[in-house]
């Protein structure tokens, strides 16, 4: 009986914490006209993710072009 009561209490308090509706505040944030693109409106974390992705993309592109140039050159005879 006591175990059942404790487990029910744990489940009900956990679900109450998760049920907090944050949609209106997120809508307000993303609909604000502040000149930022949608993928940067989340703040510093979004900016860091964006810059990291852009940097990795540039590095990968430059590496691919370099490897294509190296591969297109004839091999030196030994």
Residue of 77 and 73 predicted with greater confidence:
73
Q: For residue 17, what pLDDT is reported? A: 63
Domain housing 63: 22-77
The residue whose two tokens read 């693109």 is 37
Q: What is the pLDDT of residues 11-70, one digit of tens each?
A: 655 555 667 899 999 999 999 999 999 999 999 999 999 999 999 999 999 999 999 999
Structural domain includes residue 5: no
Q: Give the pLDDT confidence score for residue 78 in this predicted structure.
A: 74
Would you say residue 67 lies in a domain?
A: yes
CATH number at residue 51: 4.10.91.10
Domains of the chain: total: 1
- Within a domain: residue 56? yes
Residues 6+ apart with CB under 8 A from 36: none
> According to the model, what pLDDT value does residue 76 have?
84
| The pLDDT of residue 14 | 57
């Amino acid at each position: 009986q006591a175990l059942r009561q404790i487990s029910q209490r744990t489940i009900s308090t956990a679900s109450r914490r998760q049920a907090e509706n944050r949609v209106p505040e997120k809508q307000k944030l993303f609909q604000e006209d502040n000149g930022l693109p949608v993928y940067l409106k989340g703040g510093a974390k979004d900016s860091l993710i964006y810059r990291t992705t852009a940097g990795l993309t540039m590095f990968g592109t430059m590496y691919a072009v370099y490897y294509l140039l190296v591969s297109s050159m004839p091999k030196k005879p030994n």
